[in-house]
Amino acid sequence: MGFRGYRAIVALAAPIAGIQLAQVALTTVDLAMMGLLGVASVAAGGLALLLYNQLRTMCVGMITGVGNMIAEAVGRSEKRTGRTGLDSQARAEIRGFVRAAAWVATVTSAAAALILITLGYALRWLGQDPEVLRLARPILWTLAPGLIPMLWLNVLRQFAVGLRRAGSLLRVTLVSIGVNALLNALFIYGWLGVPKLGLAGIGLSTTLVQLWTFGLYLRTVKRDPLLGDLLSLRAWRADRATVIRIVRMGSPISLTYGAEAAITSVAAVLMGGFGPVALAASNIVNQLAYIVYQVNIGLSQGASILVSRTIGQGDRQEVARIARRTFGLGFAFMTVVGLGYVLFPDAVLTPFLGSHHDDTAVVAAASTLLWFAIVQQYCKGSQNLSIGLLRGIGNTKAGMQSTLIGYFAIGVPAMTVFAFGFGWRAPGIWLGLCLGFGATALLVWRRFRRGAADLATPIRESVAAVG
């Protein structure tokens, strides 16, 4: 029974993590190939990717709850009929959720694209190096449109995962990495008569691959007998009440994700004050940690879907067991990665340094920050797993409240004091990051344990009433 429980989590988490890694693979390849353009390009392009990832994460948060809504609808249908499958009421609900999610996704991603472009000009008031911003603005312009197909892809993901039919994106992930690398090279070197666009070309290639990946996954979904029958992307026919429901559930999730990404962006802005070498080293290590984080996102969302479906079926005793299995899987994975950082630091860092791998200053700075990345991934991973479990029991506000306290009341002040007050510079910023994520993890876990305990209350009250 225990093994089947782990397998159920992995079955849901793997395709989610696959899509996440496909997205991050694009920006990881981008950052690696920026090394071909020099340390200044790594600093500027890495800053642009950091801002892009922050807005991307917030956009995803707006429609993340859709998977839980669909899973609950499935659970209620199974409870009504006493069998596996969907009745007509559940089918109508699910089609309505997808239409409303498509509307929310389109509006949200378009707004985020405008914000991303604006940030390229607004950051000059926050003390960023003018040359870094000059190099960053073109890639921000070309990255921004890619937010729209990216979020459409995530609507399809939530739809498929909510029905536990996400499928595998391994082939798409691998092909997208290769296509992105090829397009990057075309725009960097001007092969086949293509103009040399530098950093702007790297952003353009990522946007093109986002659109291509969405098209491939849409075709996969349409070919699935169940998903194809339920798919409805007519956003203009979205029910207003359903749109409001998605926005109300998604806004706290988006703000939680945004706060999570914001503290990393604040760290990057502070790091920029120590020069291009420190910023480049931090960008590289942050991207490595971000890759690991995607697996935890997969586990978090997979466990969240299982919890929602379990509650829809009326079985609330399974929630604690799902939580234990999820943390066991997450910690096992993070331990393996951490050992890789310790044993093979040069192999981990070299791909991001391109022809500048002999830049001893960047190598030394990044090698030191790797130790902080190990601690950070446990803290950040734990809080994300807890937030997913909280979302599964229907609580999206507690995660937002906890992150605001952990990040901005503890993490950001700690970064400032350690880096500038104590003079620890870059390591001080990462120590503050770890402290902020660690405090948030403890706060969110406590809220989840309380919520899980409260789930038994209706059962006790019902038993007492019958007695």
Q: Evaluate if residue 314 carries a pLDDT over 70.
A: no
Query: Mean pLDDT for the chain?
Result: 82
Instruction: Please tell me the predicted confidence (pLDDT) of residue 64.
Output: 86
Tokens of 433: 């990051």
Torsion, Cα 119 123 126 129, to 10 degrees, reads: 160
Among 332-336, 348-352, 366-370, the range scoring the smallest mean pLDDT is 348-352
Alpha-carbon distances of 128 from 1, 44, 279, rounded to whole Å = 55, 10, 11
Q: What is the mean pLDDT of residues 209-229?
A: 89
Residue 151: count of CB within 10 angstroms of its CB:
26
Instruction: Give the rounded percent of residues in the chain with a pLDDT score beyond 90.
Output: 19
Model confidence at 150, pLDDT cuts 50, 70, 90, reads very high
Tell me the C-alpha distance between 80 and 336, whole Å: 44
For 431-441, the pLDDT digits (tens) are 999 999 999 99
Least Cα distance to 278 among 446, 83, 39 occurs for 39
Angle between helices 199-223 and 147-162 (to 10 degrees): 30
Q: What is the mean pLDDT of residues 258-266?
A: 79
Instruction: Give the rounded percent of residues in the chain with a pLDDT score beyond 70.
Output: 90
Q: What is the mean pLDDT of residues 326-334?
A: 90
Tokens of 400: 């937002």
Task: Look at the alpha carbons of 330, 333, 334, 335 in this order and tell me if their dihedral is positive or negative.
Answer: positive
Torsion, Cα 289 290 291 293, to 10 degrees, reads: 90
Model confidence at 255, pLDDT cuts 50, 70, 90, reads confident
Model confidence at 148, pLDDT cuts 50, 70, 90, reads very high
Q: Which comes out higher in pLDDT, residue 78 or 408?
A: 408
Amino acid residing at 84: T
Beta strands in 7-147 (DSSP E): none
Q: Are 420 and 431 in contact (CB under 8 A)?
A: no
| DSSP sequence for 245-280 | HHHHHHHHHHHHHHHHHHHHHHHHHHHHTT-HHHHH
Tell me the C-alpha distance between 166 and 160, whole Å: 5
Least Cα distance to 51 among 229, 258, 236, 218 occurs for 258
User: According to the per-residue pLDDT averaged within each range, which of 5-9, 18-22, 47-51, 204-208 is highest?
Assistant: 204-208
Model confidence at 465, pLDDT cuts 50, 70, 90, reads very low
Instruction: Please tell me the predicted confidence (pLDDT) of residue 167.
Output: 66
Amino acid residing at 128: Q
Predicted TM-score (pTM) of the model is 0.73
Amino acid residing at 259: A
Instruction: Please tell me the predicted confidence (pLDDT) of residue 466.
Output: 34
User: According to the per-residue pLDDT averaged within each range, which of 9-23, 58-72, 104-118 is highest?
Assistant: 104-118
Q: Which comes out higher in pLDDT, residue 128 or 7?
A: 7
Q: Evaluate if residue 205 carries a pLDDT over 80.
A: yes
Q: Evaluate if residue 357 carries a pLDDT over 60.
A: no
Q: Evaluate if residue 414 carries a pLDDT over 80.
A: yes
Q: Evaluate if residue 309 carries a pLDDT over 70.
A: yes
Q: What is the mean pLDDT of residues 397-407?
A: 83
Q: Which comes out higher in pLDDT, residue 52 or 397?
A: 52
Amino acid residing at 435: L
The label of the residue with tokens 């397009």 reads: 183
Q: Are 58 and 208 in contact (CB under 8 A)?
A: no
| DSSP sequence for 372-414 | HHHHHHHHHHHHHHHHHHHHHTT--HHHHHHHIIIIIIIIHHH
Tokens of 199: 């950093």
Q: Evaluate if residue 23 carries a pLDDT over 70.
A: no
Burial pattern 286-295, b for ≥16 Cβ within 10 A else e, equals bbbbbbbbbb
Instruction: Please tell me the predicted confidence (pLDDT) of residue 370.
Output: 87
Q: Are 394 and 453 in contact (CB under 8 A)?
A: no
Tell me the C-alpha distance between 151 and 159, whole Å: 12
Among 74-88, 222-236, 314-328, 446-460, the range scoring the smallest mean pLDDT is 446-460
Tell me the C-alpha distance between 172 and 336, whole Å: 25
Model confidence at 358, pLDDT cuts 50, 70, 90, reads very low
Model confidence at 459, pLDDT cuts 50, 70, 90, reads very low
Among 264-273, 321-330, 364-373, the range scoring the smallest mean pLDDT is 264-273
Residue 135 burial class via C-beta count within 10 angstroms: exposed 0-12, middle 13-18, buried 19 and up: buried
Amino acid residing at 183: L
Instruction: Please tell me the predicted confidence (pLDDT) of residue 462.
Output: 38
Q: Residues with Cβ < 8 Å from 402, sequence gap 6 or more?
A: 383, 440, 443, 444, 447
Which uninterrupted H or E stretch holds 77?
helix 39-81
Residue 241: count of CB within 10 angstroms of its CB:
10
Tokens of 382: 């734990």
Instruction: Please tell me the predicted confidence (pLDDT) of residue 112.
Output: 95
